[in-house]
């Protein structure tokens, strides 16, 4: 694969869009060779059906109790910092995240990266992961003490709404912390917080290869079911401000057994990437 810069820089207009609406679509953001490498790596880890990987560690307890896995995608840790191409991409993402988070003197810390294919709704699956994504907010699930985190969402093929692409509620990031999706009683954030329905909800995204979206962890978002006969492949990189601390809550995303509440996230597992 030819040497190239993984991502272009974000523009001032894109930074303003994120802060105004809580999300931004970055057209032609990532080098197409990098996208192909990500896609190849995802299939290597998860199989061509995106359903052949081992049950994710943070779902093992639920599966043992007879509960389904995540309904909305099949999450697989990608260990991107150990992969030369993904590591370069993650550090490039960090540079964009620093511009987007707009906190003077505060850097960007890596939190997590995952392959998150949404499996076809018409087929049975080992991991679940083939349902719609209810409208929800990410913040509370990350067990952090401050906002400012971002999710960079990379589709690994060109997709439209029939694949179950991302949809955002404009300006919902200003509503504050709105709870965990498991507390919505079988509904979603739009049911529990009816005032969100007064906000504009644009149609689900259409992505050309190389396009991505970025959203804040306070932004309400969701996605439809994948109506294709194949997986909707995607990869996410999650960033946090470099001064973020653990808030003491149990969290499936990292091992906190040796951590203390309100302790900063350590550089070994959560390195500063910008």
Q: What is the 3-state secondary structure (H, E, C) of the chain?
A: CCCCCCECCCCHHHHHHHHHHCEEEECCCECHHHHHHHHHHHHHHHCCCCCCCCCCHHHHHHHHCCCCCCCCCCCEECCHHHCHHHHHHHHHHHHHHHHHHCCCCCCEEEEEEEECCECECCCCCCCCCCCCEEEECCHHHHCECCCCCEEEEEECCCECHHHCCEEECCCHHHHCCCCCHHHCCCCCHHHHCHHHHHCCCCCCCCECCCCEEEEECCCCEEECCECCCCCECEEEEEEEECCCEECCCCCCCCCCCCCCCCCECCCCCCCECC
The neighbour count for residue 260, using CB atoms within 10 Å, is 9
Q: Is residue 258 part of a domain?
A: no
- Specify the number of domains making up the chain: 1
| Position 4 in a domain | no
Residue 66 within a domain:
yes
- Tell me the C-alpha distance between 21 and 201, whole Å: 10
pLDDT of residue 79: 87
Q: What is the pLDDT along the chain (274 residues), one digit of tens a residue?
A: 445 689 999 999 999 999 999 999 999 999 999 999 999 999 999 999 999 998 766 566 555 655 556 789 999 999 899 999 999 999 999 999 999 998 999 999 999 999 999 999 999 888 889 999 999 999 999 999 999 999 999 999 999 999 999 999 999 999 999 999 889 998 999 999 999 999 999 999 999 999 999 999 999 999 999 999 999 999 999 999 999 999 999 998 999 999 999 999 999 999 999 9
Q: What pTM, to 2 d.p., does this model score?
A: 0.94
Residue 259 lies in a domain: no
Residue 7 maps to a domain: no
For 94, the domain range is: 12-241
Residues 6+ positions from 233 with CB-CB distance below 8 Å: 39, 42, 50, 115, 117, 155, 156, 157
Is the residue at 180 inside a domain? yes
Domain containing residue 236: CATH number: 2.60.120.620
**Residue 267: inside a domain:** no
Residue 202 lies in a domain: yes
């Amino acid at each position: 694969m030819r040497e190239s810069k993984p991502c272009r820089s974000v523009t001032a207009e894109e930074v303003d869009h994120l802060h105004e609406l809580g999300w931004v679509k970055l057209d032609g953001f990532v080098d197409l060779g990098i996208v192909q490498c990500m896609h190849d790596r995802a299939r290597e880890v998860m199989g061509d059906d995106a359903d052949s990987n081992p049950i994710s560690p943070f779902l093992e307890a639920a599966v043992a109790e007879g509960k389904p896995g995540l309904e909305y995608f099949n999450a697989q840790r990608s260990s991107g910092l150990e992969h030369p191409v993904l590591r370069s991409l993650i550090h490039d993402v960090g540079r964009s995240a620093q511009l987007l988070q707009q906190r003077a003197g505060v850097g960007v810390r890596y939190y997590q990266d995952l392959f998150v294919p949404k499996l076809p709704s018409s087929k049975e699956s080992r991991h679940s992961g083939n349902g719609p994504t209810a409208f929800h907010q990410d913040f509370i699930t990350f067990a952090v003490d401050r906002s400012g985190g971002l999710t960079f969402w990379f589709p690994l093929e060109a997709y439209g709404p029939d694949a179950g692409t991302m949809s955002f509620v404009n300006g919902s990031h200003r509503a504050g912390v709105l709870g965990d999706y498991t507390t919505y009683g079988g509904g979603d954030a739009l049911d529990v917080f009816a005032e969100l329905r007064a906000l504009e909800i644009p149609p689900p995204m259409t992505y050309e290869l190389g396009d991505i979206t970025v959203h804040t962890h306070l932004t309400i978002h969701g996605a439809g079911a994948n109506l294709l006969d194949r997986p909707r492949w995607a990869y996410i990189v999650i960033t946090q401000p470099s001064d973020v601390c653990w808030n003491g809550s149990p969290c499936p995303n990292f091992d906190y057994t040796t951590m203390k509440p309100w302790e900063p996230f350590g550089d070994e597992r959560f390195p500063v990437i910008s």
